[in-house]
Amino acid sequence: MAAKIISGKDIAKEIREALKAEVSELKEKHGIVPGLVTILVGDNPASVSYVTAKQRAAHELGFHSIQDNQPEDITEEALLSLIKKYNDDPAIHGILVQLPLPRHIDERKVIYAIDPRKDVDGFHPVNVGKMVIGEPCFLPCTPHGILVLLDRAGVEVSGAEAVVVGRSNIVGKPIANLLIQKRKPVGNATVTVCHTGTKDLSFHTRRADILIVAAGRPKVITADMVKEGVVVIDVGVNRIGTTPEGKAILCGDVDFDSVKEKAAAITPVPGGVGPMTITMLMKNTLESAKMWAG
Ligand code: GUN
C-alpha cells in the first residue's frame, strides 16, 4: 500500500497563518514587531537559497527582518563584532548565522558569541543544555519541526522504536534527545542513533517504527532497508542536478519512490521537513520578541 504523504508544506502554511495573526495582534496591542537578522557569509548557493527562504517567511509574517550579507573573506573578529552589534540592538530578537562558515572562521566561537536569549536557532550551548534537561529554551528548528510533523500526522511516538540516521549537532543529536524525553505530545520513544561508524545500518533501520534520516547523502535508505508500515521523516536535501532553466533538482536521503510503497507515511523532498524548519525559526523569533517585551 502506498504511503500517506506528510506535507510539511501544508502544515507549515497553516502554522504560519496562525503566527501571522499573532504577529498582527502583538503589533496592534503592544507595538511590538519581532525582529530577525540572518547573517550570510559568502555566496554558497545552498546557503543563499536557505537564507532567502527564511527572509521571505519573516517578511510575509510582518517581521522586521534584515538580511546581512558579508564577504567570504570577512575576518572572525569582524563577524564577532557584527554579532555583538545585533546582541545590543533592541529591535532584533533573533540572530541567525547561516552555517557552514568559511574555514578561517571558528564556528564554535560564532555560536558562543550570540546572546542565548536571541539564539533562535537553538545552537548555543546554554540552549542545548536546557533542551537536554527539558527546561524551556529555543529548540533547534529542524528537530522541533519534526516533532510538530509527527504530532500533526497523528503518529504514535510513545513506546515506538525510533531510529535516527545521522549524528549532527543540528539534527541527529537533538532529535534523538527530544524523542527520548517524556515530553508530550511527542516523546517517550526508544531511540537508536546510527552514524558512519554503524556496522550494519539496515539491521537497525529495519527495526524502526519511525525512521528519521539526516545522513546528508542522496537516497541512502532504500525499500529493502525498511519494514512495512514504517513512518519515514527525510531530512536530506541533496542537489543532484540542474534543470535547463537553471533550477536545482533536489532529492532526499531516502529513495522516496521505492520506500513510499512500504511506508505507512513519508515526508517528501522538497515540501517535507524544509518548510517546517523555517516555520519553527519564525515561531522562536516571535517567542523571543514576546520574552524581551516581558
Ligand atoms: N545550515 C543548515 N541548517 C541550518 C540551520 O538550521 N541554521 C543555520 N544557522 N545554519 C544552517
* 219-242 confidence digits (pLDDT tens): 999 999 999 999 999 999 999 999
pLDDT at 237: 96
* CA atoms of 230 and 35, how far apart (whole Å): 40
Check pLDDT > 90 for residue 145.
yes
Of 55, 118, 119, 121, which is the active-site residue? 121
Beta-sheet pairing, 231-234 with 35-41: unpaired
109 included as an active-site residue: no
SS3 (DSSP) at 161:
strand
54 included as an active-site residue: yes
* CA atoms of 34 and 173, how far apart (whole Å): 29
pLDDT, average across residues 65-81: 98
Check pLDDT > 80 for residue 85.
yes
pLDDT at 135: 97
Q: Which residues are annotated as a binding site for NADP(+)?
A: 166-168, 237
**Ranges of each domain in the chain:** 33-138, 141-274
160 alpha carbon – ligand 1 mean position (Å): 28
Query: Assign residue 166 a region: left if phi > 0, alpha if psi is -120 to 50, beta otherwise?
Result: left
pLDDT at 287: 98
pLDDT at 13: 98
98 included as an active-site residue: yes
Predicted complex ipTM: 0.98
CATH number of 141-274: 3.40.50.720
- Average pLDDT value for the chain: 97
Residue nearest to atom 8 of ligand 1 (CA): 98
Query: Assign residue 85 a region: left if phi > 0, alpha if psi is -120 to 50, beta otherwise?
Result: alpha
pLDDT, average across residues 252-265: 98
Check pLDDT > 80 for residue 187.
yes
CATH 3.40.50.10860 fits 33-138, yes or no: yes
Q: Which atom of ligand 1 is nearest to the CA of 47?
A: 1
H or E element, residue 25: helix 8-30
SS3 (DSSP) at 222:
coil
Whole-model pTM: value is: 0.97
pLDDT, one tens digit per residue, over 268-292 is 999 999 999 999 999 999 999 999 9
pLDDT at 294: 84
Dihedral of alpha carbons 72, 76, 77, 83, sign: positive
pLDDT at 206: 98
Check pLDDT > 90 for residue 2.
no
Q: Determine whether the shortest distance from the Cβ of 95 to ligand 1 is under 6 A.
A: no
pLDDT at 230: 98
pLDDT band at 17 (very low <50, low <70, confident <90, very high): very high
Check pLDDT > 90 for residue 1.
no
For residue 31, CA distances in Å to 90, 232, 291 come to 13, 42, 14
* CA atoms of 139 and 19, how far apart (whole Å): 17
Check pLDDT > 90 for residue 15.
yes
* CA atoms of 212 and 253, how far apart (whole Å): 10
Give strand ranges (E) for 103-243. Answer: 161-165, 190-194, 210-213, 231-234, 238-242
Check pLDDT > 90 for residue 261.
yes
pLDDT, average across residues 101-127: 98
Among residues of the chain, what percentage have pLDDT more than 70?
Answer: 100
